[in-house]
């Protein structure tokens, strides 16, 4: 009992009431975060499958470190991965014949590239929809922007040969379905052939200069920035070049689809009124200070954060301290490469003591801005890009 208290950093007040062998929830969460290589301040939304969210103030780094990267699994984390025996198959109707590559071949045969790529879960922000949409109730922390190193998917496809009728590229990973049934896929999504052919679409084997961590797809992962992160298949085993829209698990409606014509909150809609999400919408987060910051009147507050806009770039970020009535421009950096998030900052002076909120609003290069309120309700709660806001107390 003393060691449990020590591990929790405080006395367990009703420890005498424990059933034998009981593991306090507080410790179980710490242990699981540690086993995933995560910062103990990340939030476990679900442990079967693993869904772990990053508090926004921990996304302050320009390049998201592994220990602060959110985890979104649909199935079971693969075990006993042997990278030295790993192979990738390229198959499907639109290749002349199936071709297999060892991981070592992929690394030696093709040129390697490194890009910083924003990966945002399509359901990021779901928790703000009302009535609640089914699924993990994410806050706004299911986003990352790490450095990914690998080969271009386009180089691999050219090597394997792609027929003229190719329209889509699907992935299959090594993670088992939650039921353990080997005939079921946990998730098998994909991207249009044009997205597959983009320079920045990678078959990656490194993240932030090291082997990809297990939770993020070791030893091989498809990475396609700007699209919902669900298309970036982890533990990649197979690439399927399809002559029709890929039909793997979670490609069907309503998964990763949104209504074409708006629907009443809480209402279902027909499958013909649903489209597959491609580019993610414009969005921004204030990563410093942490919401709830308090500081003395007369000082300026330096805020900073990141903004991204799916396949577009961000042209402007503004902030408001008066609940959206007036807006001032932030300083905005260019992305290090296409599909990387952009950093913004501003120095804010407050007129008097009291409670404020700082709101941030990004605009993409097509002139589209983030909405101040939660956007169109949809059955699965995707694409909530409402302005992020933090509380500030000037005393």
**Nearest-approach distance from CB 48 to ligand MTE, in angstroms:** 12
Distance CA 364, CA 311 (A): 10
53 vs 155, beta carbon nearer ligand MTE? 53
Distance CA 242, CA 193 (A): 9
Q: Does 238 bind ligand MTE (CB under 6 A)?
A: no
Site size for ligand MTE (CB under 6 A): 21
27 vs 178, beta carbon nearer Mo ion? 178
* CA-CA-CA-CA torsion sign (378, 382, 388, 389): positive
74 vs 313, beta carbon nearer ligand MTE? 74
Contacts with Mo ion by CB under 5 A lie at 72, 121, 230
**Nearest-approach distance from CB 257 to Mo ion, in angstroms:** 13
Among positions 96-155, residues that touch ligand MTE (CB under 6 A) are 119, 121, 144
74 vs 369, beta carbon nearer Mo ion? 74
123 vs 375, beta carbon nearer Mo ion? 123
Residue nearest to ligand MTE (CB): 173
Which tokens belong to 2?
Answer: 């003393």
Among positions 327-356, residues that touch ligand MTE (CB under 6 A) are none
Q: Which of 56, 77, 229, 307 binds ligand MTE (CB under 6 A)?
A: 229
Peptide bond into 289 cis (omega under 30): yes
Q: Which of 127, 233, 248, 375 binds ligand MTE (CB under 6 A)?
A: 233
> Does residue 240 contact residue 251 with C-beta atoms inside 8 Å?
no
- Closest by alpha carbon to 264, among 388, 131, 104, 137? 131
Q: Does 234 bind ligand MTE (CB under 6 A)?
A: yes
250 vs 334, beta carbon nearer Mo ion? 250
Element (H, E) at 286: strand 283-288
Which tokens belong to 240?
Answer: 């399927």
Binding mask 204-223 for ligand MTE (x = CB under 6 A): ------------x-------
Among positions 58-87, residues that touch ligand MTE (CB under 6 A) are 69-75
Q: Which regions of 4-123 does DSSP assign to beta strands (E)?
A: 43-47, 50-53, 71-72, 87-91, 99-102, 112-120
Residues 6+ apart with CB under 8 A from 256: 122, 189, 228, 230, 250, 276, 277, 380, 382
Which tokens belong to 377?
Answer: 């309700």
Question: Site residues (CB under 6 A) for ligand MTE?
Answer: 69-75, 119, 121, 144, 173, 175, 186-187, 216, 229-230, 232-235
């Amino acid at each position: 009992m003393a060691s449990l208290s020590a591990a929790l950093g405080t006395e367990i007040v009703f420890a005498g009431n424990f059933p034998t062998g009981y593991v306090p929830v507080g410790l179980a969460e710490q242990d699981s975060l540690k086993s995933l290589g995560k910062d103990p301040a990340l939030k476990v939304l679900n442990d079967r499958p693993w869904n772990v969210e990053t508090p926004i103030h921990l996304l302050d780094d320009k390049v998201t470190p592994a220990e602060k990267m959110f985890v979104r699994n649909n199935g079971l984390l693969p075990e006993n991965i042997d990278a030295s025996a790993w192979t990738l198959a390229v198959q499907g109707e639109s290749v002349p014949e199936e071709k297999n590559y060892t991981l070592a071949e992929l690394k030696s045969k093709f040129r390697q590239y490194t890009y910083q790529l924003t990966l945002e879960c399509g359901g990021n922000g779901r928790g703000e929809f009302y009535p609640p949409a089914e699924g993990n109730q994410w806050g706004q922390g299911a986003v990352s922007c790490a450095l990914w190193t690998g080969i271009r998917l386009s180089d691999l496809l050219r090597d394997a040969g792609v027929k003229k009728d190719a329209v889509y590229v699907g992935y299959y990973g090594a993670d088992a379905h939650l039921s353990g049934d080997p005939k079921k896929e946990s998730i098998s999504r994909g991207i249009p052939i044009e997205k597959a052919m983009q320079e920045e679409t990678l078959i990656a084997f490194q993240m932030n200069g090291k082997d990809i961590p297990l939770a993020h797809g070791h030893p091989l992962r498809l990475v396609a920035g700007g699209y919902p992160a669900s298309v970036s298949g982890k533990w990649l085993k197979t690439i399927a070049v399809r002559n029709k829209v890929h039909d793997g698990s979670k490609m069907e409606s309503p998964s990763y689809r949104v209504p074409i014509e708006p629907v009443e909150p809480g209402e279902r809609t027909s499958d013909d009124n649903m489209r597959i999400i491609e580019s993610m919408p414009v969005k921004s987060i204030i990563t410093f200070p942490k919401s709830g910051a308090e500081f003395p009147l007369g000082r300026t507050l330096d805020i900073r954060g990141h903004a991204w806009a799916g396949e577009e770039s961000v042209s402007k970020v503004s902030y408001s301290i008066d609940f959206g009535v007036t807006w001032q421009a932030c300083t905005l950096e260019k992305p290090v490469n296409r599909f990387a998030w952009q950093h913004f900052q501003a120095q804010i002076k407050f007129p008097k003591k009291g409670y404020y909120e700082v709101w941030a609003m990004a605009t993409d290069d097509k002139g589209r801005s983030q909405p101040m309120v939660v956007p169109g309700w949809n059955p699965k709660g995707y694409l909530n890009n409402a302005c992020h806001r933090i509380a500030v107390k000037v005393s």
